[in-house]
């Protein structure tokens, strides 16, 4: 039923896509799709790295260490604009 697509069929499909979405929207759609793919890839990599590090044994509980700095990212997968953040300490009294 669905044989091989030849050049005329591919051209017809491209013409229909251009008519449906418009020539101005196609570059933006392609850029958005590429950005989404990069974000997905970087997040999957981060999850794999997190899985490897969580398998390590926890440090001994005898010595209390100050909390490590967290990093806030500007956008998912955007590591170029990451910066360390100091979290406020708990000042409540018990």
| pLDDT tens track for 3-34 | 788 889 999 998 898 888 887 888 888 899 99
Cβ atoms within 10 Å of 35's Cβ, excluding its own: 13
Domain boundaries, the chain: 7-54
Query: What interhelical angle do 7-21 and 25-54 show, nearest 10?
Result: 90
pLDDT tens-place string over residues 29-82: 889 999 999 999 999 999 988 878 776 555 556 556 566 666 665 666 555 555
CB 88, CB 69: distance < 8 Å: no
Say what the pTM is: 0.39
């Amino acid at each position: 039923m669905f044989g091989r697509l030849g050049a005329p069929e591919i051209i017809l499909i491209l013409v229909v896509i251009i008519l449906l979405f418009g020539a101005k929207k196609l570059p933006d759609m392609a850029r958005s799709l590429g950005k989404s793919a990069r974000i997905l890839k970087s997040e999957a990599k981060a999850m794999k790295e997190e899985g490897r590090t969580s398998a390590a044994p926890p440090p001994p509980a005898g010595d209390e260490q100050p909390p490590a700095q967290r990093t806030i990212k500007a956008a998912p997968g955007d590591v170029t604009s990451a910066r360390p953040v100091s979290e406020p300490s708990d000042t409540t009294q018990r």
